[in-house]
Amino acid sequence: MTGSIENREQFLATLLEKRGGVELPFEPYQAISDLPETHLADLSAEELLDIAKEQAEFVSANLVETTASEMNAVIADLIEKSGGGQVMIPTTDEFAKFGVEVATDQLVSWKIGAEYRDENIMAAQNSNVAVAVPKFFLAESATIVVESEAGQGRSLHFLPTHYIAVIPMSRMVARSTQAADWLDKNKKPGSTLHFISGPSNSGDIEMQLVVGLHGPLEINYVVVKDL
C-alpha cells in the first residue's frame, strides 16, 4: 500500500528534519472510545427517523414521510410545488428497483458516455428539479450519501434548482461510519461519493447563514417507510 503513496519517503524525511532529526517511537493508534461503532446503535428505525426529522429542520431540508403506494404521488406534488419545468433523473436501476416513477412531459435522463459530458451538465443546469435515490440516509445528521457514477454524474446532484431524494427506509442508517464502511467495500472504480446535508448554504459571509447559495435552493427528503 505504501508504494502507491507519492512522495511518501520525501515527506517523512522532511518531517523528521523539521523535528530536529529526533525519531519518536511508533505508537499504534488507540481509539479513545467506541462511539464510531456504537453511536445510536441501540435505537429502532422509528427512533432514528425521529432524530432525522429534527436534524432535517436544522439543515433546512424538507422531510416527508410516505408509503410505497403514495410515493409517486408525493413526488409529483413536490415537483409541482417546486414550479414544475424540466426534471432530470439518473439512468440507473434504482428507480425500477423501488418503483419510482416521475410523471412529467419535461423529463430528461442522464446520458451514459463520456461524449455526453457537456450535454449532461447543460441538461442538469437547465433542470428545475432533480430526482434521485441515495445510497444511504444518515439519521445523525440528516445527510444523504450519493454516488456519482456512469448513470448519474455529480452535476445531477448539484446543478438543478430543486432536489428530491427518494429514501427507502431500508437505506437509513444511524451514522456516517456505517455508510463509509459499506462504500469502502462496494464503491465502483472511478465513482465519487458526496455527503449532502440539506440545501447548499454558507455562514462565512459576515457570519450570516445564507441558504441556497451555490447549489440546490431546496432539498426534499421523501422517506418511504415500507421500502
* Tens digits of residue pLDDT in 110-137: 999 999 999 999 999 999 999 999 999 9
Cα(90)–Cα(179) distance, rounded to whole angstroms?
A: 21
Q: Give the number of residues written for the chain.
A: 227
| Pairing mode of beta strands 143-148, 192-196 | antiparallel
Q: pLDDT digit string (tens) for 15-54?
A: 888 878 777 777 888 888 878 788 888 899 999 999 999 9
Which backbone phi and psi does 46 adopt, to 5 degrees? -65, -40
HSE on the CB side for 49, CA within 13 Å? 17
pLDDT of residue 104: 92
Cα(186)–Cα(204) distance, rounded to whole angstroms?
A: 35
For the chain, what are the domain ranges? 46-224
Digit-by-digit pLDDT tens for the chain (227 residues) are 444 677 888 888 888 888 787 777 778 888 888 787 888 888 999 999 999 999 999 999 999 999 999 999 999 999 999 999 999 999 999 999 999 999 899 999 999 999 999 999 999 999 999 999 999 999 999 999 998 999 999 999 999 999 999 999 999 999 998 988 888 888 777 788 899 998 877 765 566 666 656 668 899 999 999 99
Cα(174)–Cα(182) distance, rounded to whole angstroms?
A: 13
- Determine the CATH number of domain 46-224: 3.40.50.10420
Distant-in-sequence, close-in-space partners of 63: CB < 8 Å, separation ≥ 6: 52, 53, 56, 57, 142, 220, 221, 223
Q: CA 51, 53, 59 angle in degrees (round to 5)?
A: 105
